[in-house]
Structure 1
Amino acid sequence: MSICALAPILTYAAIDQQEALEASDRHVKVSRIVTTLFEHSHYRRAKIGNELSSKILDGYLRALDGNRLYFLADDVNGFDKYRFTFDEGVRSGRVEPVFDIFDLYRQRVIERMEFALATLSQEHNFTVDETYYFDREDLPWPDSVSAANEIWRKRVKNDLLGLVMADKTVEEAREVLVKRYNRVIKRTTELNSNEVFETFMNAYADTLDPHSHYFSPRNAKEYDIQMSLEYFGIGASLQMEDEYVTIIEIITGGPASVTGTLEPNDRITGVGQGDSGEIEDVVGWRLDDVVDKIRGPNNTVVRLQILKAGAAPGSAEVIVPFTRGKVTLEAKAAKKEIIEVPRGEQIVKLGVITVPGFYQNFQARINGDKDYTSVTRDVRRLIGELQAENIQGLIMDLRGNGGGQLNEAIDLSGLFIDHGPVVQLREYNGRTRVHKDHDRGVAWDGPLTVLVNRFSASASEIFAAAIQDYGRGVVIGQQTYGKGTVQNVYPLDRQRRAPEQQYGRLNLTMGKYYRVNGGSTQHRGVIPDIELPSLIPLSEVGESTRESALPWDQIETTKYQEVASLYMPDLEYLRSEHLKRQQTDPDLQYLERSIKLSTGVRERKSVSLNLEQRKQEREALDQDRLANENARRAANNMALLESTEELADQDDLDEILEETAEIMADIVTVSSIAAKAKTGNAPQLIEE
């Protein structure tokens, strides 16, 4: 199949004369202030030198052109003259090279987009066997203009092919891409010196750790809006990566966290208003323009077109509807349910408390409101309600819980341990503080499990680690995120001498969390006692995937007393029972097959530009998904599906929670036998 589009292409008009951007007096002062804070107050206490200078340059190039689509190899080699001068430059405020590099980047973007627009007018043969490498992060920079042209010829061809496969006509696809490429030009040429400086400062911060961040005055205000809970959106943090607006973080309590349909590294390619409004292509848009499209009146619908994390450009996209809403404490609130698990002729009744975040109405608390909302108070109440229903075991579900208030993690731990230390905090100056639960007594002393996944982070890890270290319960699931650092906010305006100038804000990593056993939660996270399979790839999500992440280390153990409990059976027995089910349970086998399918898609770095081959690959993947679902259905004596279209209508399974309940039932059963053993009435466990 050939596609020919020979009509003239319109290009963005204002590209002939681009004024060189320059550093302002404010940039000079901010650079000096931030460098001083990095050297004296960051946890690394990193001195600026040649090694860090080199990393800053590489990080800045990555921030501008991470997929190596614009700069040429000679351009990058030419930047080596700056490689060992950024150290003194940022310290003294001489940041002119930042803008010199950007000016060339802007020129290269315009050149590539003009080439892409011209290429749209040419004939494209989709019967030729060609391959497009969409993931170029580890590939060499193009060594010539002709090499760059060849990369972009294939890029344009892939963009066209993807839209045609999404049921657009050739002319419709061409119109979408003309607008898209012109938007990239417009967005790049409209970047001002403040935005470029912010990009550089965050590349600088990222060389020290992933969580230190500089906010320009404008973005500091935007951040405050998000954190004030007074805006209506989907509850997700976004940033630009290449020409895509990308999901960085799901905000607990927002619409996105409630639906569970988005995950970090998903890319937003289109936005539609209402239940049926046309999806508007937003690839190449400015971030703030996309945010404006997503936000809107409370309780109205916005639909996002999503290119899933790891998928190639041109892959099948999904449309996800959201009802706009405020990120509220109510949406974050802990919830309970009861699961009943058969064990022979008996039914084991289990309580599940889902904790989306470690929330607290801090303002109400400091105002003296005795009934202020907090996760600990809610969980204590839910435990009481579950006890009234005679549960035999409790599952604390912290999957997807990205953290929250430190004191809530401590207080929540105190519902399950009598009293004692919960977490240690070591600051950049070497001082270590031990945070303790001072309340004697517990809300639940029965069998306990904590369910976590890769998105369980920060305060979630503190809680799970405390339960594990005290031997109070069994941690089940997936290795957690590994976010064990602490940030302080530094309003840089306190440093200004000219009231009319605004310097912005710096979030600075100044400490690390350590478990009571001395090990850090940083980088390594919490390793579950019993690991379960997961669709979340450890190689793509988590602190260990970030090059500049602070390492795991260990300090002295603080004094604590492990809990002597009948409810901590032999872990090897629990693991062996889990493995038996994993080999026979249809839902767990379905999950294992789903992981293999997902991994195959994520590991691809290239796609075919042959239309028929792409169709065959998509059809094969759809058929694999259908066969996987029908294998599960057949094993469960359910009606089989006839087409892939029916897959979208299926309710999501929660195989992980189901298996956690099975493990919890094992614990309850063994604990019951152990308790009866004290009276001499215990039956014998028979190993199969």
Structure 2
Amino acid sequence: MIAKTPLFALLLTAPLALLARADNAALPVPVDAGTQAPPATLSTPAEPSVRPAGTSAALPTGPTEYQATAAKLVYGLLSDSRYAYRPQPLDDALSADMYQRYLEALDGGKQFFTAADIARFDRYETLLDDAIKSGELEPAYAIFATYRQRVDERVEYARSLLKQDIFDFTGDDRFHYDREDAEWVADADALDALWKQSVRNDWLRLKLAGKEADSIRETLDKRYANLAENVSELEGQDVFQTFLNSYAGAIDPHTDYFTPRSAENFNLSMSLSLEGIGAVLQKQDDVVAIREIVAGGPADKTGILAPGDRITAVGQGESGPMVDVIGWRLDNVVEKIRGPKGSQVRLDMIPAGAGLDSKPARVVITRDEVRLEDQAAKAEVLTIPGQSDAPDQRIGVIELPGFYQDFEGRRLNRDDYASATRDVGKLLRELQTQDVDGVVLDLRNNGGGSLTEAIELTGLFIDQGPVVQVRESGGRVSVEGDRDGGVAWDGPLAVLVNRGSASASEIFAGAIQDYGRGLVIGETTFGKGTVQNLVDLDRWPANEEERFGQVKLTIAQFFRVSGGSTQNKGVVPDINFPASVDATEYGESTYDNALPWTKIAEVPHIRYGNFAPLVPQLEALHSKRVADNREFQWWKEDVERYRTEAAETSISLNEAERRAERDANEARRKERQEIRKELGLALDPLAAAQLDDGLTANERDIVEDTARQKAAEDRPDPLLRESAAILADAVWLLSNDAQLSAAVLPGSASAGHWAD
């Protein structure tokens, strides 16, 4: 394959935005596996900062020696055709692109900088290339210093507005929230006008949610103060990573730079395993709280810890000093709690609901290896009513959130290393014992992962053969495929995809489609047709400690065995559902520097079936069924409503108008719930939940918010059920029409049990 040494780990992933949750106010993260994404899209630091609560990080003025070296190493990678698939010279033109991307990373909403600030920054526009090459990155830090100052100014102004009488909502003015294509405002007065409308919108949302004026004022004052505090905590590593990613992003959409800490977190997210206490943490104001306990993990085994508990101090081992962590950054608390299997950590905890002045309880936890099961493959069986007098069919459904793999565990040949293919294979064996008639593999919102897993997962359904073609920067094309004979499932198969299905998901879906092995159902996929490697910058200087970080580098483009690329175009399903997201709004085609679509020669491969003769009948049955399917029709209505609202760039600040919209939405949900009761349909567990509580993630009650998140997983899923019904239709049609079966599955011996 392309990568022959431990320097690389082959990746096929969607943009990082698909791989991480983000909330500018607060973010729940797995202990030892994740860190908070600080506001304004800045990334997390590589080294902890320990300072008293309420104090700011020292304002970074320039790079460290390690950062200067890392910048030069990244330049060497991205400009060298031996590594980068599409190397670009680091010149004034690329510098100008970097400059715009850096400004967007800091202030994408154009709500902090003024046109005067930008005019002052413009002198750096063609100097950033020289800064990268020399390691003298002061321009990046100078721009950031102004950013931090402007945030403080805006927050001070926003908090002052809460004391004024500006909250009359009877007029016809609007808050223009989408400023991506707007001009930079002229001066501070213009920013004042923008922020005034933003604050009024925040107030109106809380008012519509039933909050009283004093409560609204307290909530928003704390929210804005937290914004300033979060930005004040940003350090040199934050600035450095964000700036280097303005360079990486100028090369292509999927090249990224990771500091040592963020690289470790990315690798943990791919392995689905970590060593720690097994909890999900969330920052609430100045305190880190437990959001969720991982079942079976060390924290769960204590029988003491619960969601909502607050951590006030952390100690190492049996006698290490207890360190007060109130006011610390979330990622720094995570680092304190993280540790090797078998070691102990002591936590001072204040139970949920108790005041922060309460006496904390001390809990001793022995760290262990924790498997993130909620992110692993899982299965269920759906019963689909039979056509005419035919018996009901049992369709197994496997949900696969990502193509995960523990790269280090595989390299060390561990028996239990995490693997998407292994997990799916196990689930397939379990489904066979339950006598399912077909299997749907749900890849919706699966942003990709390991190339190896994509190939090996395909091998569970085909009996040897090529899976994907990979073209390197020099033009050499290699063919990667399944070399193991036999299959884990040779029966009816469907693959469910949507616009969030990317990269490795597209390789798998494309291969299943090219082989005629199964039906692809859903929406056209993301359209990412490139391969990335993780390059460890510390390998070259032979460091004993991690100093320079890693680069996720685009090194190749992949093609289907039929020769076409998924790049930009994605995988087009055999049976289409209405598009929930417009291709002009989301997907590879929205990137201004994405690679173009292209095609290479096809490679010989088996064609198990040809579903073209079957598709018209499946579409007819599908259309007839969903016309009477209330849940499916409601989903279509919601998609159309969402897309209409998404096209808006502003929102009314008229209370009566907003309240009417809110009441109409709530009435719609109540009406649907009543119809579900009348028809005996599964009820929506969130039907009575508040549509918009006006709060950010760290302002909500953790226990209630977690329960709501869990309930959302049990909401009716008409697309999944309809996909299973379509597969059941295919089995029924092929079983009852010998002529059609012969046309669709000409090689019945190799076509499995589609038409048994």
1:97 aligned to 2:139? yes
Look up the match of 1:328: 372
SS in structure 1 of the partner of residue 142 of structure 2: helix
Look up the match of 1:343: 387
AA matched with 1:662: A
For the 8 Å contact 2:558–2:565, the answer to whether it is kept is yes
For the 8 Å contact 1:521–1:552, the answer to whether it is kept is yes
Cα distance in 1, alignment partners of residues 131 and 417 from structure 2: 49
Cα distance in 2, alignment partners of residues 68 and 519 from structure 1: 40
Seen in structure 2, the aligned counterparts of structure 1 residues 620 and 231 have a Cα distance that, compared at 3 Å, is farther
SS in structure 2 of the partner of residue 342 of structure 1: coil
Look up the match of 1:30: 70
Look up the match of 2:599: 554
Look up the match of 2:643: 599
AA matched with 2:734: S
1:471 aligned to 2:534? no
- From 194, 202, 217, the counterpart of 2:260: 217
SS in structure 2 of the partner of residue 346 of structure 1: coil
- From 122, 127, 138, the counterpart of 2:164: 122
TM-score, structure 1 length as denominator?
A: 0.77
Seen in structure 2, the aligned counterparts of structure 1 residues 482 and 392 have a Cα distance that, compared at 3 Å, is same
Q: Which moves more between the two structures, 21-30 or 72-81?
A: 21-30
What are the superposed Cα offsets for residues 448-504 of structure 1, whole Å, 9 maximum, x if unpaired?
221222333332221111110111211011222333322222222244499889222
Seen in structure 2, the aligned counterparts of structure 1 residues 112 and 629 have a Cα distance that, compared at 3 Å, is same
For the 8 Å contact 2:676–2:683, the answer to whether it is kept is no
Look up the match of 2:475: 430
For the 8 Å contact 1:351–1:386, the answer to whether it is kept is no
Look up the match of 2:723: 660
Look up the match of 1:64: 106
AA matched with 2:723: T
- From 144, 150, 174, the counterpart of 2:217: 174
- From 432, 447, 458, the counterpart of 2:492: 447
Cα distance in 2, alignment partners of residues 571 and 631 from structure 1: 32
1:533 aligned to 2:578? yes
Cα distance in 2, alignment partners of residues 419 and 459 from structure 1: 18
Seen in structure 2, the aligned counterparts of structure 1 residues 329 and 513 have a Cα distance that, compared at 3 Å, is farther
What are the superposed Cα offsets for residues 205-254 of structure 1, whole Å, 9 maximum, x if unpaired?
11222332212234334445555523467789x99xxx9xxxxxxxxx98
Cα distance in 2, alignment partners of residues 354 and 575 from structure 1: 23
Cα distance in 1, alignment partners of residues 149 and 721 from structure 2: 55
1:111 aligned to 2:174? no
Give the deviation of 1:170 after TM superposition: 2.2
Seen in structure 2, the aligned counterparts of structure 1 residues 192 and 652 have a Cα distance that, compared at 3 Å, is closer
Q: Which moves more between the two structures, 342-351 or 331-340?
A: 331-340
Look up the match of 1:584: 628
For the 8 Å contact 1:634–1:640, the answer to whether it is kept is no
Give the deviation of 1:423 after TM superposition: 0.7
Look up the match of 2:186: 143
For the 8 Å contact 2:167–2:203, the answer to whether it is kept is no
For the 8 Å contact 2:384–2:728, the answer to whether it is kept is no
What are the superposed Cα offsets for residues 634-667 of structure 1, whole Å, 9 maximum, x if unpaired?
5668999999559988951121122112211221
TM-score, structure 2 length as denominator?
A: 0.71
AA matched with 1:30: A
Look up the match of 1:249: none
What are the superposed Cα offsets for residues 254-289 of structure 1, whole Å, 9 maximum, x if unpaired?
89xxxxxxxxxxxxxxxxx956679xxxxx996637
Cα distance in 2, alignment partners of residues 461 and 568 from structure 1: 20
Seen in structure 2, the aligned counterparts of structure 1 residues 326 and 614 have a Cα distance that, compared at 3 Å, is farther
Seen in structure 2, the aligned counterparts of structure 1 residues 33 and 381 have a Cα distance that, compared at 3 Å, is closer
AA matched with 2:576: E
Look up the match of 1:195: 238
Give the deviation of 1:630 after TM superposition: 4.4
SS in structure 2 of the partner of residue 23 of structure 1: coil
Cα distance in 2, alignment partners of residues 436 and 254 from structure 1: 36
For the 8 Å contact 1:126–1:609, the answer to whether it is kept is no
AA matched with 1:132: F
AA matched with 2:73: I
Cα distance in 1, alignment partners of residues 659 and 250 from structure 2: 42
Cα distance in 2, alignment partners of residues 428 and 642 from structure 1: 50
Aligned Cα root-mean-square deviation (Å): 4.2
Cα distance in 1, alignment partners of residues 222 and 690 from structure 2: 34
AA matched with 1:103: A
Runs of 5+ unmatched residues, structure 1: 1-11, 244-252, 256-272, 279-283, 304-324, 680-688
- From 225, 229, 235, the counterpart of 2:274: 229
1:408 aligned to 2:453? yes
For the 8 Å contact 1:633–1:640, the answer to whether it is kept is no
Seen in structure 2, the aligned counterparts of structure 1 residues 450 and 189 have a Cα distance that, compared at 3 Å, is closer
Where do residues 332-371 of structure 1 align in structure 2 (5 Å cutoff)? 332-356=376-400, 357-359=402-404
AA matched with 1:518: G
Aligned residue pairs total 612
1:162 aligned to 2:205? yes
Cα distance in 2, alignment partners of residues 158 and 442 from structure 1: 57
SS in structure 2 of the partner of residue 662 of structure 1: helix
Cα distance in 2, alignment partners of residues 641 and 361 from structure 1: 35
For the 8 Å contact 2:382–2:724, the answer to whether it is kept is no
For the 8 Å contact 1:478–1:527, the answer to whether it is kept is yes
Cα distance in 2, alignment partners of residues 553 and 50 from structure 1: 29
1:671 aligned to 2:734? yes
1:482 aligned to 2:535? no
Give the deviation of 1:63 after TM superposition: 0.6
Q: Which moves more between the two structures, 129-138 or 642-651?
A: 642-651
SS in structure 1 of the partner of residue 471 of structure 2: strand
Where do residues 497-508 of structure 1 align in structure 2 (5 Å cutoff)? 502-508=547-553
Seen in structure 2, the aligned counterparts of structure 1 residues 120 and 359 have a Cα distance that, compared at 3 Å, is closer
For the 8 Å contact 1:160–1:173, the answer to whether it is kept is yes
Give the deviation of 1:527 after TM superposition: 1.3
SS in structure 2 of the partner of residue 205 of structure 1: helix
Identity level (%): 38
Look up the match of 1:623: 667
Seen in structure 2, the aligned counterparts of structure 1 residues 326 and 478 have a Cα distance that, compared at 3 Å, is farther
Per chain length, whose mean CA-contact separation is higher, i.e. which structure has more relative contact order (CA < 8 Å, sep 6+)?
A: 2
Cα distance in 2, alignment partners of residues 137 and 667 from structure 1: 46
- From 116, 131, 137, the counterpart of 1:74: 116
AA matched with 2:103: L
Look up the match of 1:88: 130
Q: Which moves more between the two structures, 146-155 or 24-33?
A: 24-33
Runs of 5+ unmatched residues, structure 2: 1-52, 286-292, 296-304, 311-326, 339-344, 353-368, 692-707, 743-756
Cα distance in 1, alignment partners of residues 595 and 475 from structure 2: 15
- From 21, 38, 44, the counterpart of 2:61: 21
AA matched with 2:62: E
Give the deviation of 1:201 after TM superposition: 0.7
Give the deviation of 1:139 after TM superposition: 1.5
What are the superposed Cα offsets for residues 582-624 of structure 1, whole Å, 9 maximum, x if unpaired?
3333222122122233334433332233333332222122223
Seen in structure 2, the aligned counterparts of structure 1 residues 431 and 666 have a Cα distance that, compared at 3 Å, is same
